[in-house]
């Protein structure tokens, strides 16, 4: 969710996703009915629902459309699946279109006249716009939230995500009859053999064998594959996912076990390679060795 309104975001989308719905138009510009604000923004209120107007610091959910001054659509986000959410801020320059949000409330809509060069910044102007042209930026407000209300909604959404993710892990553990323990971070682990050697510590070089799978059994990586060698990394340096930095010290050298790592401590919402977004990761690991980290010339630890 985008937490700050950014007309540059719309700009980039427009430059990439121009809809090329232009038609020949013999009439002139349709720019009647626009007023000029004290900050130099040319605007026109289209709908006033007589609702409280957004204030600086509030969050708004809105649709947007970009048109030529002859009303040909360049780009449009105008349905429930493509609305934006952003924070209202004070204008940063003369004619800044962000100002329009403070003139609108829930259910309101308006249109702004903006220089195409100013709006598209360094982006190439989409056809048929040229230097000196203006565009119409139409905004329709779906809802307005005070910052505290928005933060509460965001926290609720994040909590629901965590609960859903946690239930997936619990179901996996039960279905596979795994006797796992849970850390406060949300990661689960199983100690099959604690080991009897050196305990891995931050800034030490650690050598491990591992076998990584998803909950459905898909193998996404393994050092046990033919031709592969044990993996070495420096603990606590961010060279591996957070789940490894936290989970590997649970075992001494010679130790074996399982790490069940939540997305937030793995590859998160982005995923990586064959690992889908928001995936839990299951690692069977064996700690093979712990040694001093390699040194740079001059004796400084490697970063």
Q: Please tell me the distance from the alpha carbon of residue 51 to that of residue 3, in angstroms, as a whole number.
A: 22
Q: Please tell me the distance from the alpha carbon of residue 237 to that of residue 201, in angstroms, as a whole number.
A: 11
Q: Which of 72-86, 125-139, 223-237 has the lowest mean pLDDT?
A: 72-86
Q: Which pair of tokens denotes residue 293?
A: 């980290």
Q: List active site positions.
A: 210, 220-221, 241, 267, 283
Determine the pLDDT at residue 153: 83
Determine the pLDDT at residue 23: 36
For the chain, domain boundaries: 7-145, 176-292
Contact indicator for 105, 54 with CB cutoff of 8 Å: yes
Q: What is the largest CA-CA distance in the chain?
A: 85
Taking the domain 176-292, which CATH number applies? 3.10.50.40
Whether pTM > 0.85 for this model: the answer is no
Determine the pLDDT at residue 53: 96
pLDDT tens-place string over residues 13-25: 333 333 333 333 3
In the predicted structure, residue 27 carries a pLDDT above the cut 60: no
Residue 269: pLDDT band (50, 70, 90) is: confident
Q: Please tell me the distance from the alpha carbon of residue 301 to that of residue 259, in angstroms, as a whole number.
A: 28
Residue 298: pLDDT band (50, 70, 90) is: very low
In CATH terms, are 7-145 and 176-292 the same topology?
A: yes
Determine the pLDDT at residue 110: 97
Determine the pLDDT at residue 250: 96
The vertex-190 CA angle with 188 and 192, nearest 5°, equals 170
3-class secondary structure, 124: coil
pLDDT tens-place string over residues 141-164: 999 999 899 888 888 877 787 788
Determine the pLDDT at residue 297: 39
In the predicted structure, residue 221 carries a pLDDT above the cut 50: yes
CATH fold for domain 7-145: Chitinase A; domain 3 (3.10.50)
Determine the pLDDT at residue 21: 34
Cβ-Cβ contacts under 8 Å for 272 (sequence gap 6 or more): none
Report H helices in 132-291: 147-175, 242-247
């Amino acid at each position: 969710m985008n937490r700050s309104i950014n007309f540059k975001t719309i700009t980039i989308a427009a430059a990439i996703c121009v809809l090329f719905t232009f038609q020949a138009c013999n009439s002139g510009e349709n720019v009647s009915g626009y007023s000029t604000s004290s900050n130099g923004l040319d605007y026109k209120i289209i709908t006033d629902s007589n609702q409280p107007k957004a204030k600086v610091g509030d969050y708004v959910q809105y649709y947007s459309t970009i048109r030529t001054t002859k009303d040909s659509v360049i780009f449009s986000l105008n349905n429930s699946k493509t609305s934006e959410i952003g924070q209202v801020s004070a204008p940063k320059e003369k004619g800044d279109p962000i100002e329009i949000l403070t003139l609108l409330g829930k259910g309101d809509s308006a249109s702004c006249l903006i220089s195409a060069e100013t709006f598209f910044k360094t982006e190439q102007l989409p056809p048929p716009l040229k230097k000196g042209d203006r565009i119409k930026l139409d905004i329709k407000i779906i809802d307005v939230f005070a910052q505290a209300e928005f933060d509460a909604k965001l926290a609720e959404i994040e909590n629901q995500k965590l609960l859903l993710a946690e239930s997936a892990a619990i179901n996996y553990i039960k279905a596979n009859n795994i006797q796992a323990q849970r850390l406060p971070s949300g990661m689960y682990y199983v100690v099959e053999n604690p080991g009897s050697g050196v305990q891995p510590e931050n800034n030490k070089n650690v050598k491990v064998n591992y076998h990584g799978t998803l909950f459905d059994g898909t193998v996404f990586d393994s050092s046990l594959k033919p031709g592969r060698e044990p993996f070495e990394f420096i603990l606590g340096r961010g060279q591996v996912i957070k789940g490894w930095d936290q989970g590997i010290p649970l075992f001494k050298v010679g130790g074996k076990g399982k790490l069940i790592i939540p997305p937030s401590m793995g590859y998160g919402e982005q995923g990586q390679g064959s690992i889908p977004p928001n995936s839990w990761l299951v690692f069977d690991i064996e700690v093979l060795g712990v040694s001093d980290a390699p040194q740079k010339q001059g004796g400084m630890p490697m970063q």
